[in-house]
Amino acid sequence: MSVSSLPPVGTTPLARREARLAWGLLAPTIISVALVVVLPLLAIFWISVKPIGLADLRPPQPLLKEALRGSGEDLRIEYRLRNSSQDKPIRDVVLTDTIPDSVTISGDLPDGCTVSGQTLRCVFEELEGGYNERIRISVSTTDKDAAEQALEASEPRVSGDADSILTNATFTFDNFIRVFDGEEFSQVLGVTLFYTVFGTIGALVVGLFAALLLNKSFKG
């Protein structure tokens, strides 16, 4: 009675274990390449199709400074509010501040500002690009130095919503057009191709020549 030996059909358990081991050993290399090479390339491509400059790397934000100005009947709190961007608007801007107990608001409030107790709140629907204004609130106090120290101890807060040019859905090919239309683009491209092609050919020729010399020396 003859017994025929046939090769196994499909993947054996040993082969599957070896495959899992191989992928496990390759995983750190694949992840490292993705982090070091692929992700920066994707980031470069993403930035290249965005209409941004160095000034747009940070999203627009409202900036605020507070100071006590004047004296006597002309005493006032001044809030200097400005938009950090020159062309991007900021929406739903809210300014809040706590007025010290030693300070009394003595005049009319600007449009959009209200006071509840000692809390001042000013609402602005939108700050256009380049916005830079002073909000003046007339006040009175019996001790200006103490009032100024109290104001410095209570920092005003400001918030607002603005689109980040890095994450919004605005794209452009102007950057590519600017590069391709450059006067030196064809020259730079020609030099790059020349060094790439002939550098590779030269390296192959040198490697082949070295291999032939080694082979000849071993035979000799």
CA proximity to 95, closest of 153, 44, 42, 134: 134
Q: What residue ranges of the chain have pLDDT lower than 70?
A: 1-10, 55-56, 218-220
Q: CA 190 to CA 194: how far, in whole Å?
A: 6
Domain shared by 86 and 64, yes or no: yes
Query: Does residue 43 lie in a domain region?
Result: yes
* Beta-strand runs (E) in the chain: 62-69, 76-83, 90-98, 104-105, 113-116, 119-127, 132-140, 157-161
Q: CA 96 to CA 115: how far, in whole Å?
A: 10
Q: CA 115 to CA 108: how far, in whole Å?
A: 11
Domain shared by 93 and 114, yes or no: yes
Domain shared by 146 and 65, yes or no: yes
Domain shared by 83 and 24, yes or no: no
Domain shared by 118 and 148, yes or no: yes
Give me the domain span that covers residue 43. Answer: 13-48
Determine if the pTM surpasses 0.85: no
Domain shared by 34 and 98, yes or no: no
> pLDDT, tens digit, for every residue of 63-121?
999 988 888 788 889 999 999 888 889 999 999 998 888 888 887 888 899 998 889 99
pLDDT at 213: 81
pLDDT at 9: 64
Domain shared by 19 and 69, yes or no: no
Tell me the helices (H) and strands (E) count for the chain, helix number first: 5, 8
| Length of the chain (residues) | 220
Domain shared by 19 and 102, yes or no: no
Burial 69-95 (b: 16+ CB within 10 A, else e): eeeeeebbbebebebbbeebbbeebeb
Query: Does residue 193 lie in a domain region?
Result: no
pLDDT at 219: 63
Pairing of β 119-127 and β 157-161: unpaired
Split into its structural domains, the chain has a count of 2
